A and B are shown apart, each in its own frame.
Chain A
Amino acid sequence: MAISFFSYSLVLYSNKNYTYQSNYDHTKAIDGQLVWQKYNCQSCHQLYGLGGYLGPDLTNIISVKGKDKQYILAIIQSGSKQMPVFHLNEQEKENLITFLISTDASGTADPRTYIKQSNGMIYKHGN
C-alpha cells in the first residue's frame, strides 16, 4: 500500500497534462500567488471553494462584469465594512491582478457547470 501511495504521489508530481494559457505573464502570476499568501487573502476568500468563507470566491472575479482590474484594486485600497485596507506596492498590485487572471484562465469555480450522474459522480459539460 505504501508503494502504491508513493507511486501515486510521483505520478501527480510529474504530471504535465495541464494546459497553459498565453494571455498573461506567467512569472508575474506566480509572484502574484506569493502576494496572495503574503497578505493572507485565503483567510477570508476562496479559490475553487478552498479557503475562508467570510468573503466570496475570487477564482473568476476578474471576468465578472463590472468587477475588472480597477474595481479589484479599488476594493484592496479602500477596504469595505468587512475587508481591511491593504497597502500593496505597484509591483504587488500588478502581480496579484495577473495571478487572478491566471486563476480565471485555469477554469471556472462555478459548481453549476458540472453535470450530476446517477452514480453520484460529476463531470464537466463538454467532457
Chain B
Amino acid sequence: MGINLHSSIGRYYLASALFMLVLGLVFGVVAAFNYIIPGFSQEYLGFIQLRPMHVSCVMFFILMGACGCIYCGLQSAQPDTISKPLAYMQLVIWWIAIIAILFSYSQQQFGGREYWEFPPKYALIIAITWVLFLVNYFIAATKIKKWPVYIWMWMTGIIFFLFTFLENYLWEFPYFREHFLKDLTIQWKANGSLVGSWNQMIYGTAFFLMERISGERSTAKSNLAFALYFLGLFNLMFNWGHHIYTLPTESYIRYVSYIVSMTEWIFLLRIFYTFKSTVTTARKNYYYFPYRFLLASEVWIFFNMMLAIVMSIPAFNLYTHGTHVTVAHAMGTTIGINTMILIAACFEFFMPHNEEFAKGSKVLNVFYWMLQIGLLLFWLSLIIIGIQKGIWQMGAQTTSFSSMMQSLQAWFYVFVSTGIILMASLSSLAFILLHAFLTKKKYLHF
C-alpha cells in the first residue's frame, strides 16, 4: 500500500493511550490493596479516589486508543483527508480534561455518577473533544468509496458514544430525577449502550487490522462481516437491561434485554464454526505480534462471551449481580478483548514488520505469556470470589457482610497478586511500545 503513517496524528493518540493504561494499572493495583489491607493509603489517596482514578484512566486509554486507531485507519484508507488542526486541538483538549479530572479526584471533588465520578462541568470538555472527532471523522470518511465494515463500525461507535455520553447526564435535568427507579433505569441504559459504542470502535479496529494482516480486502466487505456488525449494533441498542434485571422497573425491559442478549450465542457459534481456519491462520502468523494479540483477543472473546451469556440469563443473574463476577466480566472484556486489540494496533503502527524481529523477541514473548496467564488467574479469582458472594446473598445470610468478605481474604490475596502480574506485564509492553514511538524509528512500511 506504501502509506506512510510515521507522521500520523493517530500515533500520538496511541502513545497517550498507552500512558493512560500504565496510570490506570498503577491506580488499580493500589486500589486493590484495600481488599487485603483495610484503609490502605487512605491518608494519601483512599479507595474513594483510587477507584475513579483507575476507571477514568482505563476509559481514557480505550477512548484515546480508539481515536488513534481510527485516525491511523483513515490515514491508511484515504491519505491526507484528516484535518490535522482539528485532530491536534482534540488531543490538547483531551489532555486538559484528563489533568483536570485526575486533579479533582485527588482533591476528593466528585459529583458525577458511575464511570464519570468527576464534577459534571468537565463532561462538557469531553463532549467538545468528541464533537471535534465526529466532524473530523466525517471530513475524512466521506471521501472513502464503498465503505468496508470497519468504517461503518467506527462511525456507529463515535455517534453512539456522543449520544450515550450526553444521555448519561440527563440526570442534571430535574425531570429525570423525579423518581429514583426511572433515573437508575435511564442511567444504566446509557451506561450499557456506552460500552457498546466503544466496543464498536475497538472491534472495528480488529477488522481493520485483520484486513491489513491478511492482505484480503474481502475480510472487511463480506456479508458475514456486516451481519456481525448489525448483530453488535442490535445488542448495543437493546440488551442494556441485563444490567438491571433486579431493579423493580418495567418488566418489558427485562424481557427485551433477555431476548436480545441471547442473540450473542451467534458470536459464540461463529467462533466454534471458524475454529479450524483460526488454528490454520494462527500457525501461519503466530510469530507476528499484532496477529498474536488479535488471536489472544479471540480466545478471550470466547471465555468472556460464555460468562456474559450465563450472566444475561436472569435466573443466573440473581447470583452474579452485585458480585465480583460482574467485575470479572468487566475486566475480562476490557483487558482480554479491548486491550489486546489496542496493543495489537500499537504493535502494527509502532514496531518492525518482520519475522526475524518477532522470533528474536524473547522479552516480548515472556511478557505476552505473563499477561495471558496473569489475566486468566486474575479472572478466575474474581469469578470464585463472586460465586461465593452470590451464594451468600442468595442464601440465609447468617453471617454479616464484613464476615463474608473476611472469609474471602485468601482469594483477595490471589486477586491482588495476579493484578500485580498484570500491571507488570502490561506496563512492560506499554513501555516497549512507547520507546518505539519516542525513538521514532521508521518501522512503518507496507
Contacts and interface: CB of A to CB of B under 8 A. Distances in A.
Interface string B260-294: 00000000000000000000000000000000000
Contacts of B245: 122
Contacts of A17: 250
Interface in B379-402: 389, 393-394, 401
Contacts of B7: none
Contacts of A44: 47-48, 51
Contact of B114 (A15, A20, A42, A84): A42
B186 to A, nearest CB: 6
Nearest to B324: A53
A65 B112 CA distance: 31
A102 interface: yes
A89 B313 CA distance: 44
B46 A84 contact: yes
Main SS class of interface, B: helix
Contacts of B251: 123, 127
B42 A106 contact: no
29 contacts: A1-B237, A9-B189, A15-B182, A30-B177, A37-B110, A43-B47, A43-B48, A43-B52, A44-B47, A44-B48, A44-B51, A52-B47, A53-B323, A53-B324, A53-B327, A55-B401, A57-B322, A84-B39, A84-B42, A84-B46, A102-B180, A103-B180, A106-B179, A106-B248, A107-B247, A109-B246, A111-B321, A121-B254, A127-B251
Interface of A: 1, 4-5, 8-9, 12-13, 15, 17-18, 20, 26, 29-30, 33-34, 37-40, 42-44, 46-57, 81-82, 84, 102-103, 106-109, 111-112, 114, 116-117, 120-124, 127
Interface of B: 34-35, 38-39, 42, 46-48, 51-52, 108, 110-114, 117, 167, 170, 174, 176-186, 188-189, 230, 233-234, 237-238, 243-248, 250-251, 253-256, 258, 313-319, 321-324, 327, 389, 393-394, 401
Instruction: List the 10 closest A-B pairs by CB distance, nearest first.
Output: A49-B322, A107-B248, A40-B110, A116-B315, A56-B401, A5-B237, A18-B179, A120-B313, A111-B318, A81-B38
